Amino acid sequence: MPIVYHLEGQNDRLAGALKVLADDYSLVSHDDENKLGLVLKQDGSLGPLGYAISKEEKKLVLSYGGMTGALRGLGSVISFKDKADEQAEDTCFESVGIMLDCSRNAVPKRSHIEMWMRKLALLGYNQLMLYTEDTYELEGEPYFGYQRGGYTAEDIRDLDDYAYSLGIELVPCIQTLGHLHQMLKWSKYWDMKDTNAVMMVRNDRTYEIIEKMISLWSENVRSKRIHIGMDETHDLGLGRFLDQNGFENRFDLFNYHLDRVVQICNEKSLKPMIWSDMYFRLGSKKQDYYDREAIIPDEVKEKIPVEAELVYWDYYHDDADFYAEWIDRHRELGKEPIMASGVWTWPMLWHCHANTDKNALPCVKACKEKNVKEITFTMWGDDGALCDIDSAFEGLATVAESIYSDGGDEEVLAKRFSKVCKGDYNLSREASILGAFYLQDIDSDEEAASAEELAKRVESVVLGNMVLWDDPLQGVYWRQIELVNGPDVWEEIRRKYGRLSSRLNSLDDARDGAGDLKVAGLLADAIVKKIGLRQKLVKAYEERDDTLLREVIVESAIVIKAIERWDAAFTAMWHKRNRPQGLEQIQIRIAGVARRFREVQQRVEDIILGHSDMIDELEVKPEVRLSYIPQMHTAVASAGAWTVN
């Protein structure tokens, strides 16, 4: 049944938003009181993000403070209908946003971002940053973002208009110092190159290109804010700059550059913000953002431009007290921090709810306690944007529930997720093991396990992308998991993925509004078959069992078919959501995996026919564990790791 509504008073922007949402959410405008189910009216006593729902006769009355509160409240009506009666929410935050990575292969189509905006508005988000390193077009710069599928000025204007219609501020989020390896690899820009990813400070051409970047955005969005990046420039001043100028204090270099970029922003009446990590890293002997021993000299603090806001990014801590301490440290710099937490999409195949719940929820708690006014949630695309980004809606719904309430009622969350995000909450959470899961979560005989074995499992994380890309002959990741947990652990992992595969592939009709569960099912099936093949290969080789070896040849073809089925579905999903550029990187990798299984067939056949008596890769079994493999943010294809950005 449609929701028949009446907007009380004059509010053209909200009226426009309701029309934008009408088709997706069955909203019908009507003035006949006898047909009304919902009346929306503004209430000055409520905060801009607050709302209250009451019942008058047979109608629901949604009182709201501002656009964000009205649309979050509408999301409640859509989700709970008459049961939304007497519901009220508000928050201490003034800005609740997301940052969508559009620079790691995937550049979402305008239509897909617009779909995101509709759902974000109903969840209570009012800010969107599109993280674009070089994925936008600059006039006269054909090699800036060359073959990256970047946005045109018209695209940006249209996205800004659409965001504005839904009460969302579209904020440019670019890079003006580091993370520009895609640009700097072209010879046209070598004269402004310090290191592979960092531009040359004190170089006229550097500031010419930065002015073009900032001008493009300032001319095409309404917002007077801009995120100018400048994070993780660890080798600032240590490349060609060092060769040409000698060593200079890196605090001074950083502040000089920031001051120049801020001047450009000032000329265009923009208020800039930067990631804050470099101040803390440069003050740390370990180059650690979260080093409690880091010292930022007073003279450096004094040189931080007054106009520059600091964005404190932290996706890694599960302790609210830690976030509170670092919020205070930012305030000691004379800045009110903007908090950037994370909804974990990197380096994942599916949103990892375990990491989001573990780290983002304590962050929200600390921000509430410290009365932080702005929070955003990043969704990075590290390792090629392989993650089904729509699966992140489960995390976004979860953290929004924590922002607007205590977030403790899963039944309420699941209902809102179903109606607003158009996804299946429980299935989305189950599919999360494609992203990552802790071995302690495996259903096994925990009582029989020793305390030492359980301690190892606690620290062991299985990353789905590393299982997917791990070479079937070399088994680099395979061996590392074995070293921590023993040789039988892979059977437990296979069963874990197997249950998910059976569950998803038995669905007649899977909801795909918040992640494509059909594509996820095909991926789970390919992973299960890949693990099973490796198990059989190792056993057959060690026992020199000709029957099993022949089965390996046959089953390798089955694995290849499973990979190709997932590849076809993934490709169709990519083209539906993203610009085509970037897909080639993923397709090359997928084709590489399939090719390696053909190599398995050939090498095993050589053993059977007596052409060889050894598979060299299977003879290599290191006994020393690599301590960081379970947390590596890269795909392992072989002993040489692939990283795609």
Give per-residue pLDDT as tens, 600-612. Answer: 999 999 999 999 9
Distance CA 358, CA 402 (A): 13
pLDDT at 440: 65
* Domain covering 452-631 in this structure, CATH number: 1.20.120.670
The dihedral through the CA atoms of 557, 562, 567, 569 has a sign that is positive
* Strands 436-438 and 461-463, sheet pairing: antiparallel
Nearest to 116 by CA among 101, 95, 103: 101
Round the average pLDDT of the chain to a whole number and report it: 92
Strand partners, 59: 56
pLDDT at 32: 74
Which residues touch 524 (CB under 8 Å, ≥6 apart)?
A: 431, 434, 497, 500, 501, 504, 505
pLDDT above 60 for 540: yes
Give pTM, 2 decimals.
0.93
pLDDT at 387: 96
Side chain identity at 220, as an amino acid letter? N
Which top CATH class is 3-89? Answer: alpha beta
pLDDT at 644: 46
pLDDT above 70 for 633: no
Architecture of the domain delimited by 95-423 = Alpha-Beta Barrel (3.20)
Side chain identity at 295, as an amino acid letter? I
Which residues touch 348 (CB under 8 Å, ≥6 apart)?
A: 386, 387, 434, 435, 436, 463, 464, 465
**Exposed / middle / buried, residue 212 (Cβ in 10 Å: 0-12, 13-18, 19+):** middle
Identify the weakest region by mean pLDDT among 103-112, 248-257, 356-365, 598-607: 248-257
pLDDT in tens, 295-352: 888 888 888 899 999 999 999 999 999 999 999 999 999 999 999 999 999 989 999 9
* Distance from the first to the final alpha carbon of the chain: 45
Q: Using pLDDT thresholds of 50, 70 and 90, give the confidence band for residue 462.
A: confident
Distance CA 361, CA 353 (A): 11
Average pLDDT over residues 474-493: 91
Domain limits, the chain: 3-89, 95-423, 452-631
Could you count the other beta carbons within 10 Å of the beta carbon of residue 139? 10
pLDDT at 306: 92
Place of tokens 């070399």: 474
pLDDT at 597: 98
Identify the weakest region by mean pLDDT among 70-79, 85-94, 174-183, 206-215: 85-94
pLDDT in tens, 125-153: 999 999 999 999 999 999 999 999 999 99
| Inter-residue contact 183 to 133 (CB < 8 Å) | yes
Q: Residue 630 is encoded by which pair of tokens?
A: 């379970």
Strand partners, 61: 39, 54
347 prior amide bond cis, ω within 30 = yes
Percent of the chain with pLDDT over 70: 93
Identify the weakest region by mean pLDDT among 185-194, 328-337, 352-361, 440-449: 440-449
pLDDT in tens, 484-539: 888 899 999 999 999 999 999 999 876 778 999 999 999 999 999 999 999 999 99
Helix then strand then coil, % of the chain, to nearest 5: 50, 15, 35
pLDDT above 90 for 284: no
| Inter-residue contact 128 to 100 (CB < 8 Å) | yes
pLDDT above 50 for 643: no
pLDDT at 449: 52
pLDDT at 454: 47
| Inter-residue contact 293 to 248 (CB < 8 Å) | no
Q: Please tell me which residue, 294 or 556, carries the higher pLDDT value.
A: 556
pLDDT at 409: 87
pLDDT above 80 for 452: no
Distance CA 636, CA 179 (A): 22
Distance CA 510, CA 521 (A): 10
| Inter-residue contact 343 to 388 (CB < 8 Å) | no
Q: In degrees, to the nearest 5, what angle opens at C-alpha 73 toward C-alphas 156 and 404?
A: 90
Place of tokens 């993780």: 232
pLDDT in tens, 394-446: 999 999 999 999 877 899 999 999 999 999 999 999 999 999 988 765 554 44
Strands (E), 428-581: 436-438, 461-463
pLDDT at 636: 44
Q: Residue 45 is encoded by which pair of tokens?
A: 């006593």
Task: Give the CA distances from residue 536 to residues 102, 270, 428, 491, 543, in Å, rounded to whole numbers and listed in that order.
Answer: 40, 61, 31, 11, 11
* 95-423 shares the fold of 3-89: no
Percent of the chain with pLDDT over 90: 81
Phi, psi of 558 (to 5 degrees): -65, -40
